[in-house]
């Protein structure tokens, strides 16, 4: 078997992609999404070139070029269909037929940020470094590839921040793989329940300290009416800022240690645990993915209720996937199995 060969794209998909059909949104009331926006624009210029074309060789070169292009697009489509079809800028999203859905997503995001008190509008001092802001759009899909959610996120363009002026620490601990495996091994031996939760918009919870004064431009296209000249002074972290990861971790430590009464694990700072007599709760944190190992199922529900007082969570139920590793537990034999078969499968292709 030849592993280094290019994946051979099926031609039917390519032409579907190029002609802009075959990929539609599944929202019933929604018009057909103009997919393949990037692909056909290049192809569209092609006829004029052919008319000017001087000879056969030119045409051959062009065909080769188009075929390469087609293969590239097909590959891109296979790798990340969603990425290729998602709009990149606000101007682009406004031209699309599904703009109302995006608009709704943007308004939701702005509302979340407003409720969280992410910034206050002020006048920027003349010499302040003003960080840009940008919208990022994403279509969330289910396993079958149907669009389930339109998502818009406001991000700060943290690349203009200066170390020691705008930000200090940028690191955040995550649980070590060996630590995760040890907890799983312990869970198998002690017959613990394994559950998983995801923290929604984790970085938006981080709070900036008094010495980090960050000014950000108002969200593009959504300036406060009449206050166009003002800028946002950030109170909380946003996605894209250099220090967001650090502040989120600090916030998490504060929640876990002071509010929920957990203790830090001595060897791994991203592991928290709590003991109540025979019962024990262990929480492994990987940025916003929390894996919970507990002795009884009632404690899980209790923990989820307690943590959701402080942050928004998505309950993912029992643990099946962790960092691309598939996890299967066998209640009868009290064993836990780990496998990366789908990762192996994806790299074998």
Binding of other proteins by 279 (CB under 8 A): no
Binding of other proteins by 143 (CB under 8 A): no
- Beta carbon nearer to other proteins, 35 or 295: 295
Binding of other proteins by 8 (CB under 8 A): no
The answer for 282, left when phi > 0, alpha when psi is -120 to 50, beta otherwise, is beta
Q: Strand 130-141 vs strand 215-216: parallel, antiparallel, or unpaired?
A: parallel
Question: Which residues, other chains included, contact 283 with Cβ-Cβ below 8 Å and sequence gap of 6+?
Answer: 256, 262, 271, 272, 273, 290, 291, 292, 293, 303
Q: Is 7 helix (H, G, I), strand (E, B) or coil?
A: coil
Binding of other proteins by 79 (CB under 8 A): no
> In angstroms, what is the minimal distance from the CB of 291 to other proteins?
14
> In angstroms, what is the minimal distance from the CB of 332 to other proteins?
11
**Total site size for other proteins, rule CB under 8 A:** 31
Binding of other proteins by 333 (CB under 8 A): yes
Question: Which residues, other chains included, contact 102 with Cβ-Cβ below 8 Å and sequence gap of 6+?
Answer: 87, 93, 96, 137, 150, 152
- Beta carbon nearer to other proteins, 160 or 181: 181
- Beta carbon nearer to other proteins, 120 or 190: 190
Binding of other proteins by 1 (CB under 8 A): yes
Other Cβ atoms within 10 Å of 82 Cβ, number: 14
Within 164-193, the residues that bind other proteins by CB under 8 A are 177-178, 181-182, 184-189
CB 92 within 8 A of CB 178: no
The torsion of the CA quartet 74, 77, 80, 84, rounded to 10 degrees, works out to 120
Cα 289 to Cα 320: distance, rounded to the nearest angstrom: 13
Q: Which stretch binds other proteins (CB under 8 A): 122-130, 166-174, 264-272, 322-330?
A: 322-330
> Can you give the binding site for other proteins, defined by CB under 8 A?
1, 3-4, 177-178, 181-182, 184-189, 323-325, 328, 333-341, 343-345, 347-348
């Amino acid at each position: 078997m030849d592993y280094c060969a290019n994946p051979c794209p099926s031609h039917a998909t390519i032409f579907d992609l190029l002609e802009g059909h075959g990929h539609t949104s599944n929202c019933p009331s929604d018009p057909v999404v103009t997919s393949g926006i990037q692909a056909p624009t290049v192809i569209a210029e092609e006829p004029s070139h052919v008319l000017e074309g001087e000879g056969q060789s030119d045409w051959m070169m062009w065909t080769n070029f188009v075929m390469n292009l087609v293969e590239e697009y097909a590959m891109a489509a296979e790798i990340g269909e969603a990425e290729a079809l998602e709009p990149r800028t606000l101007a682009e999203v406004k031209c699309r037929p599904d703009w109302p859905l995006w608009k709704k997503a943007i308004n939701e995001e702005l509302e979340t940020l407003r409720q969280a008190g992410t910034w206050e509008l002020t006048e920027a001092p003349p010499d302040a470094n003003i960080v840009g802001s940008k919208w990022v759009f994403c279509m969330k899909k289910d396993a079958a590839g149907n669009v389930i959610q339109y998502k818009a996120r406001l991000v700060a363009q943290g690349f203009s921040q200066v170390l020691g002026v705008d930000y200090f620490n940028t690191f955040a601990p995550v649980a070590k793989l060996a630590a995760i495996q040890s907890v799983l091994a312990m869970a198998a031996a002690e017959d613990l329940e394994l559950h998983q939760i995801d923290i929604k918009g984790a970085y938006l919870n981080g709070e900036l300290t008094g010495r980090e004064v960050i000014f950000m431009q108002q969200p593009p296209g959504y300036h406060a009416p009449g206050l166009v000249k003002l800028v946002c002074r950030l109170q909380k972290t946003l996605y894209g800022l250099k220090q967001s990861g650090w502040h989120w971790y600090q916030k998490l430590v504060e929640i876990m240690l002071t509010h929920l009464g957990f203790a830090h694990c001595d060897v791994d700072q991203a592991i928290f645990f709590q003991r109540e007599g025979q019962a024990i709760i262990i929480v492994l944190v990987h940025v916003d993915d929390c894996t919970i190992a507990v002795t009884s199922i009632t404690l899980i529900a209790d923990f989820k209720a307690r943590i959701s007082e402080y942050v928004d969570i998505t309950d993912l139920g029992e643990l099946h996937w962790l960092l691309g590793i598939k996890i299967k537990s066998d209640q009868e034999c009290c064993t836990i199995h780990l496998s990366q078969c789908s990762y192996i499968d994806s790299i074998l292709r």
